[in-house]
Amino acid sequence: MNHKAFITSILLCLITLGKAQNKSGLIIYDIKYPNENLKAKIVDSRLFFNDTVSIGIAYSTKFYAQRNFGINQEPQGLGVTFNYGDEMGEVIFRNFNREKIILRFPKSAALDQFTVQDTWIKIQWEIKNETRQIGKYICKKAIGNFRGRTYIAWFTEEIQLPYGPFKLHGLPGLILEAEDSEKMFSVIMKHIEYPTIQDFDVNEPVEKISKTLKEYVYALDHIEDIFLQKLNSKAPKGVSFSKILDKKDTKRIYKAEKVFEWEQR
């Protein structure tokens, strides 16, 4: 073999090896979020990932039909129905090399679409000596605390990537199932492709409006007030709307994230 042919063969081997190591995957979860209503709020979520980036997507009209949420305002008897979701959907983008997490939210009745740079939090997991099989994968049990909830997660070292649903991450394998200790939040793996031939956008989401994490948390805590303010701004002269019931402070017991970093000090 001449020198040129040898160099070419080495380059081809390196390219092939790089492609083999840079596998992409897809996992589809059913996620049940905490909800004060008796009917559980279950969301279909897709997690795309490669060797450095994971992108969780929900409420995407590209993959799913839009979800309709009705609001009935009394005593006027005005029924208002709005859609939540667009083609891009609700996104949790993580770059593990840069330890960066960006959230993206679609336009809703209360807010226009926006992004948030979240805090990169390393969950202190305790791996237990328990195993179970989920699908074709042998999984290990781990327990960790994140923003006011204790999570029990099942992860597989057969896919040695530290990814998972929602904001759960940092284990030595992909998380397939999870549940919090109050059984208000749960994740079930419905489908997995690894490797996958499906293509996905690895760029972090960008919107015209960007909120700080504290602004985002404030909006979550006051979303009804923000919606009513917007509704009243568009109401005919002489017409105004108010809360049906002024709920007591529930300390976010029905939120996935109950306590944030600056509130623990």
Determine the Cα–Cα distance for residues 202 and 95; give it in Å rounded to an integer: 9
Quick one: pLDDT band at residue 250, thresholds 50, 70, 90?
Answer: low
CA distance 217 to 80: 25
Q: Examine the pLDDT at 174 and tell me if it is beyond 60.
A: yes
Look at residue 34 in the predicted model and tell me its pLDDT. 85
Q: What pLDDT is recorded for position 189?
A: 97
Confidence of residue 67 (pLDDT cuts 50, 70, 90): very low
Verdict on whether the full-model pTM lies above 0.75:
yes
Can you tell me the mean pLDDT for 38-52? 86
Q: Mean of the pLDDT values across residues 199-221?
A: 95
Examine the pLDDT at 13 and tell me if it is beyond 70. Answer: no
Q: Is the pLDDT of residue 7 over 80?
A: no
Q: Is the pLDDT of residue 105 over 80?
A: yes
Confidence of residue 233 (pLDDT cuts 50, 70, 90): confident
Q: What is the pLDDT of residues 151-169, one digit of tens each?
A: 999 999 999 999 999 999 9
Q: What is the pLDDT of residue 215?
A: 97
pLDDT tens-digit map of 236-245: 666 566 665 4
pLDDT at position 10 over 70 = no
What own/partner pairs with CB < 8 Å and gap ≥ 24 does 122-128 have? 122/170, 123/151, 123/168, 123/169, 123/170, 125/153, 125/170, 125/171, 127/171
35 pLDDT band (50/70/90 cuts)? confident
Mean pLDDT value of segment 97-119: 96
Confidence at 127, pLDDT banded by 50, 70, 90: very high
Give me the pLDDT at residue 27, please: 97
State the helix-helix crossing angle for 213-221 and 223-234, rounded to 10 degrees: 80
CB-count burial class (<10 Å; 0-12, 13-18, 19+) for 261: exposed
